[in-house]
Amino acid sequence: MFNLILFGPPGSGKGTQSERLIARYGLKHLSTGDILRSEIANQTTLGMEAKSLMDRGELVPDEVVIGMISAALDNNPQAKGFLFDGFPRTKAQSEALDKLLAQRNEAINVVLALEVTEEELIKRLLNRGLTSGRSDDNNEAVIRARIQEYHKKTSAVADHYQVFNKVVGIKGEGTVDDIFNALCEEIEKRMAA
Ligand code: AP5
Ligand code: MG
């Protein structure tokens, strides 16, 4: 198996690059943001509880997303590997993920961290808000709150995996193709290892 975390702040291109990476490497894409938005669309209890937090740009509780990931791992026993997008997002989520993988004799192979300036993130998300229908995109205050949550809680995830030397920074500005190629180069180095 090959298990990859695509890491980075809101708007850094995780979703965009994930689509291409899963197509090339046959990995199962696990995006907690996408799962939560589908829970909202289906008006489930979980979705309704998550919605107000997401609309404010705040993280939903750890146990909620950890439960979603645990179920997804169970439901995909044949996967060649997983691409985690938007998860883990706190130190507690990182520790829970390591445990869930260890129970299956698996581990994270690499954390690829997209690096984008804050000015560019805000520009991209405001622009996406014109068409995405995402309620957390069309308000600059909410976008800034998401970036703040990232600095306050999520950057600790990179520190967690840095200890194991698993984090590689990738410049997340430039063309989508160039960034994709840089990601592929790092993945293939590690798949060969
Ligand atoms: P989530 O859905 O994960 O959103 P996010 O992290 O805020 O990130 P985005 O999806 O907005 O950005 P992205 O990095 O995927 O970039 P994209 O490719 O779309 O989370 C949403 C909410 O759910 C959270 O706030 C939280 O409430 C909750 N949640 C989710 N997971 C959670 C967890 N684990 N724990 C707790 N709560 C959780 O690109 C952005 C835009 O830029 C697009 O328009 C794209 O076309 C454009 N773009 C992409 N690449 C480029 C490029 N190279 N040049 C120019 N534009 C580009
Ligand atoms: Mg995304």
Active site residue 128: yes
Active-site choice (20, 51, 91, 134): 134
Res 138: pLDDT: 86
Q: Hey, whose CA ends up nearest to atom 20 of ligand 1?
A: 33
Res 73: pLDDT: 98
Q: Cβ contacts of residue 34 below 8 Å, gap of 6+?
A: 15, 85, 86
Q: Hey, whose CA ends up nearest to atom 17 of ligand 1?
A: 13
pTM of the predicted model, to two decimals?
Answer: 0.97
Res 172: pLDDT: 98
Atom of ligand 1 nearest to the CA of 36: 23
Res 177: pLDDT: 98
Instruction: State pLDDT tens for residues 95-106.
Output: 999 999 999 999
What domains are defined for the chain? 2-192 (3.40.50.300)
- Segments in the chain below pLDDT 50: none
Res 193: pLDDT: 79
Res 91: pLDDT: 98
Active site residue 144: no
